[in-house]
């Protein structure tokens, strides 16, 4: 057998650069490069190997968590067909990636994490940044990755890599099991040499399968749909991952069945498709929520039924409601007592369109669908044009962004009040034009995630929508965008604090305590002036262009300047904090204190107990 003498790190990179995926006869090189920061735990191993390996570009970032977010944004925009590997030193560099790992795994996104680890030979322990345990020497901070990784391994000997790498790729390319994969790499083993078999470095193409539904479950699903009078389809992220938007549009046009979209599934249908009712659930539209409330059959496609989608299990109130779930993952397909159709979303929808020939929703229900869609479109137009001055409402800022964006541009956000408002209001024109990280709703995802999205498809402008609270958490990747020449447009809403949690606090009777950015006053409370943070100066110091817009007219002008700029541009606009987008016949379960000295909290608790009566078990 031919062999090649390489360090473990060199062999690892030699393997990664030769991995490809194939779906529908089209090949993609799987790893676009390596992101990270060097330290003593990886500089002499992975760092040295990257210096020699020009086929895998190395992109230094400013925060290891941001590296994983960038990889997730890239993978999501590529429908999981491409990703990055992320490397870090041991200790804090490694644990910085844990939050990113949770984001990737919860959102079912393939990302490879390569944290440095302590010495395998142990004789020099404890090394700098090593966590010691009095009960074992076989534990370290990288064990914290286990619950947030779909596959985890520690490579104690260089030859163990040969057995580990196929498992890494099996999980990363699985339609049902993918997520973060962690290989903990002891720093001494990274630099050790071994005679690796030449076969390890051959080109390998991993087939991304499209599982077909089994005949029995599929027949039961068809029977349930044909028997329904008010069916409703929930489009989840699996529709986009499987590139099933066209198949969904044909199925809905043929049957007249209306669609509500989850955060991950928004954009599965174009906003102006006759059967697109918009967002569903706690942050849902009037149209989708009313139809879901009375549905006698719910068809879930690629959704995991999060509490926002089900409005904390209050969305589906028809006593006779039944469920059909189409999903590649058994774990999700069996939820809510559904008829489980374990299959690829596109394949299943194509088969259903054929099997449902001759079926169409009744004329009365079709008319209701059209009426609700018209009513909802008018409500969005109203919220886009409230005419507030000098500080616009957040809904008006969203409207101006939508009017400025092109049909293929991407809107990206993750946390705060923005996901709720965007889920309701953003009118997605093309698949993947709406990019929300709401599985983990991770503050700090926005800027690095947007870099990943733009790198995945440089032909699409990317608009980042975030608040001042989120911006302060992780602005450093603006410098990375300048370094790499990857332009994004960042719209920073200055509402002087955490407006989303402030609104939630008020609804709980807690008056927004601790959610406004104020100076500490003479009384010792945070009740002084607003914090004097100069966001434009901060953005400029990181290499971006920056514009402060005063009012909606200036904001629209600033967007046009940002579109023509040659690098990342931050547009800052102050909004009217207390003017919020309403909820639409929906609810989210956030527990209220059962006893309190505050009358407002006691009143909120009474409303909470009444609302909880609508929560259902779907068995």
**pLDDT attached to residue 52:** 82
Q: Which residue has the tokens 């489009």?
A: 235
Q: 206-238 burial, b for 16+ CB within 10 Å, e for fewer?
A: bebebeebeeebbeebbebbeebebbbbbbbbb
The span from the CA of 70 to the CA of 75, in Å, is 9
Q: What is the mean pLDDT of residues 383-387?
A: 96
**pLDDT attached to residue 317:** 97
CB neighbours of 319 closer than 8 A, spacing ≥ 6? none
The span from the CA of 410 to the CA of 579, in Å, is 26
Look at 1-5, 75-79, 202-206 and tell me which has the smallest mean pLDDT: 1-5
Look at 156-165, 199-208, 340-349, 575-584 and tell me which has the smallest mean pLDDT: 575-584
The span from the CA of 574 to the CA of 579, in Å, is 12
Return the higher-pLDDT residue of 513 and 331. 331
What one-character-per-residue DSSP string does 176-236 give?
Answer: TT-SEEEEEEEHHHHT-EEEEEGGGGS-EEEE---PPPPHHHHHHHHHHHHH-SSEEEEE-
Q: What is the largest CA-CA distance in the chain?
A: 79
CB neighbours of 261 closer than 8 A, spacing ≥ 6? 234, 235, 267, 268, 269, 276, 278, 279, 280, 288
Look at 60-74, 200-214, 403-417, 576-590 and tell me which has the smallest mean pLDDT: 576-590
Q: What is the mean pLDDT of residues 50-68?
A: 94
CA angle 38, 39, 40 (to 5 degrees): 135
**pLDDT attached to residue 510:** 75
Structure tokens at 6: 């390489």
What is the percent of the chain with per-residue pLDDT over 70, rounded to a whole number?
A: 99
Q: What is the mean pLDDT of residues 546-554?
A: 96
The span from the CA of 349 to the CA of 584, in Å, is 29
- Please report the domains of the chain, with CATH numbers, ordered by start residue: 3-207 (3.40.50.970), 215-370 (3.40.50.1220), 385-496+531-574 (3.40.50.970)
**pLDDT attached to residue 54:** 81
Res. 173 pLDDT band, cuts 50 70 90: very high
Indicate whether 591 pLDDT > 80.
yes
Q: What is the mean pLDDT of residues 596-602?
A: 90
Please say whether the beta carbons of 97 and 107 come within 8 A: no
**pLDDT attached to residue 389:** 86
**pLDDT attached to residue 496:** 81
Please say whether the beta carbons of 487 and 497 come within 8 A: no
**Mean pLDDT value across the chain:** 95
Burial of 402 per CB tally in 10 Å (0-12, 13-18, 19+): buried
The span from the CA of 154 to the CA of 139, in Å, is 10
**pLDDT attached to residue 512:** 74
The neighbour count for residue 422, using CB atoms within 10 Å, is 27
Q: What is the mean pLDDT of residues 165-170?
A: 98
Indicate whether 80 pLDDT > 90.
yes
The span from the CA of 325 to the CA of 312, in Å, is 18
Q: Which of 167, 155, 168, 166 lies closest to 194 in space, CA to CA?
A: 155
CB neighbours of 117 closer than 8 A, spacing ≥ 6? 41, 90, 94, 140, 142, 154, 184, 185, 186, 187
Strands 19-23 and 26-29: antiparallel
The span from the CA of 559 to the CA of 490, in Å, is 10
List the strands of the sheet with 19-23, edge to edge.
Answer: 26-29, 19-23, 204-207
CB neighbours of 463 closer than 8 A, spacing ≥ 6? 401, 405, 409, 410, 411, 412, 488, 489, 491
Res. 518 pLDDT band, cuts 50 70 90: confident
- Condensed to tens digits (0 to 9), the pLDDT of residues 290-317 reads 999 999 999 999 999 999 999 999 999 9
Provide Rg for the chain, Cα atoms.
25
Instruction: Kindly list the distances between the CA atom of residue 537 and the CA atoms of 394, 431, 541, 546, 548, in Å, as whole numbers in the listed order.
Output: 23, 35, 6, 8, 10
DSSP three-state, residue 421: helix
- Condensed to tens digits (0 to 9), the pLDDT of residues 233-276 reads 999 999 999 999 999 999 999 999 999 999 999 999 999 999 99
**pLDDT attached to residue 514:** 77
Please say whether the beta carbons of 75 and 28 come within 8 A: no
The span from the CA of 166 to the CA of 57, in Å, is 22
Please say whether the beta carbons of 277 and 251 come within 8 A: no
User: Cis (ω within 30 of 0) for the bond into 328?
Assistant: no
Q: 359-382 burial, b for 16+ CB within 10 Å, e for fewer?
A: bebeeebeebbeebbeebbebbee
Return the higher-pLDDT residue of 348 and 577. 348
Contacts by residues 308-311 (CB-CB < 8 Å, ≥ 24 positions apart): 308/262, 308/263, 308/281, 308/282, 308/283, 308/438, 308/588, 309/234, 309/236, 309/262, 309/263, 309/280, 309/281, 310/281, 311/281, 311/282, 311/284, 311/586, 311/587, 311/588
Q: What is the mean pLDDT of residues 269-288?
A: 97
Q: Which of 62, 82, 63 lies closest to 72 in space, CA to CA?
A: 82
Q: pTM of the full predicted structure? A: 0.96
Q: Which of 117, 183, 187 lies closest to 150 in space, CA to CA?
A: 183
Indicate whether 513 pLDDT > 90.
no
Helices 446-456 & 64-77 angle (0-180, nearest 10) = 40
Helices 394-404 & 418-425 angle (0-180, nearest 10) = 50
- Condensed to tens digits (0 to 9), the pLDDT of residues 479-504 reads 999 999 999 999 999 988 787 777 76
Strand ranges (E), 438-550: 462-467, 489-494, 545-549
The span from the CA of 415 to the CA of 432, in Å, is 18
């Amino acid at each position: 057998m031919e062999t090649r003498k390489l360090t473990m790190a060199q062999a690892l990179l030699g393997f990664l650069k030769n991995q490809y995926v194939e779906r529908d006869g089209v090949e993609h090189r799987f790893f676009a490069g390596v992101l990270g920061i060097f330290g003593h735990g990886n500089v002499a191993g992975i760092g040295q190997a990257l210096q020699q390996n020009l086929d895998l570009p190395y992109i230094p970032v400013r925060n290891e968590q941001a590296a994983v977010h960038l990889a997730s944004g890239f993978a999501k925009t590529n429908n999981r067909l491409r990703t990055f590997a992320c490397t870090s030193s041991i200790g804090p560099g490694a644990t910085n990636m844990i939050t990113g790992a949770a984001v990737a795994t919860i959102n079912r996104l393939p990302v490879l994490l390569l944290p440095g680890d302590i010495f395998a030979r142990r004789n020099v322990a404890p090394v700098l940044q090593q966590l010691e345990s009095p009960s074992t020497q076989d534990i370290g901070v990288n064990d914290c990755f286990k619950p947030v990784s779909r596959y985890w391994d520690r490579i104690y000997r260089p030859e163990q890599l040969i057995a580990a790498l196929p498992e890494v790729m099996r999980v990363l390319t699985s339609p049902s099991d993918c997520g973060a994969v962690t290989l903990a790499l002891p720093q001494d083993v990274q630099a050790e040499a071994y005679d690796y078999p030449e076969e390890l470095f051959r080109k390998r193409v991993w087939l991304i399968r499209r599982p077909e539904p089994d005949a029995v479950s599929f027949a039961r699903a068809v029977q349930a749909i044909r028997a329904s009078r008010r069916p409703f389809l929930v489009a989840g992220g699996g529709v986009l991952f499987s590139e099933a938007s066209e198949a969904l549009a044909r199925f809905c046009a043929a049957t007249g069945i209306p669609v509500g979209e989850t955060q991950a599934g928004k954009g599965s249908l174009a906003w102006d498709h006759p059967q697109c009712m918009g967002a569903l659930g706690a942050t849902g539209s009037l149209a989708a929520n009313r139809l879901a409330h009375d549905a006698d059959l719910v068809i879930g496609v690629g959704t995991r039924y999060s509490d926002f989608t089900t409005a904390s299990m209050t969305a589906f109130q028809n006593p006779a409601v039944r469920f059909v779930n189409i999903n590649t993952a058994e774990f999700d397909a069996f939820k809510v007592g559904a008829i489980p159709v374990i299959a690829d979303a596109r394949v299943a929808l194509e088969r259903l369109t054929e099997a449902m020939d001759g079926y169409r929703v009744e004329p009365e229900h079709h008319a209701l669908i059209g009426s609700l869609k018209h009513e909802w479109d008018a409500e969005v137009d109203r919220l886009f044009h409230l005419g507030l001055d000098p500080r616009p409402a957040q809904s008006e800022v969203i409207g101006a962004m939508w009017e400025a964006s092109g049909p293929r541009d991407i809107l990206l956000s993750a946390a705060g009040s923005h996901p709720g408002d965007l889920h309701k209001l953003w009118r997605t024109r093309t698949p993947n034009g709406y990019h929300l990280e709401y599985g983990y709703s991770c503050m700090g995802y926005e800027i690095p995630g947007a870099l990943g999205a733009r790198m995945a498809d440089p032909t699409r402008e990317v608009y980042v929508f975030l608040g001042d609270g989120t911006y302060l958490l992780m602005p450093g990747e603006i410098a990375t965008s300048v370094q790499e020449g990857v332009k994004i447009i960042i719209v920073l809403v200055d509402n002087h604090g955490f407006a989303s949690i402030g609104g939630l606090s008020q609804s709980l009777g807690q008056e927004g305590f601790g959610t406004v950015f104020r100076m500490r006053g003479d009384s010792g409370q945070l009740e002084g002036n607003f914090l004097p943070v100069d966001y434009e100066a901060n953005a400029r110091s990181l290499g971006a262009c920056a514009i402060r817009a005063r009012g909606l007219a200036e904001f629209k002008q600033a967007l046009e300047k940002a579109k023509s700029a040659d690098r990342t541009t931050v547009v800052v606009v102050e909004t009217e904090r207390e003017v919020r987008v309403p909820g639409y016949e929906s609810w989210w379960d956030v527990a209220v204190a059962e006893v309190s000295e505050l009358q407002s909290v006691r009143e909120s608790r009474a409303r909470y107990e009444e609302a909880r009566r609508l929560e259902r078990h779907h068995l």
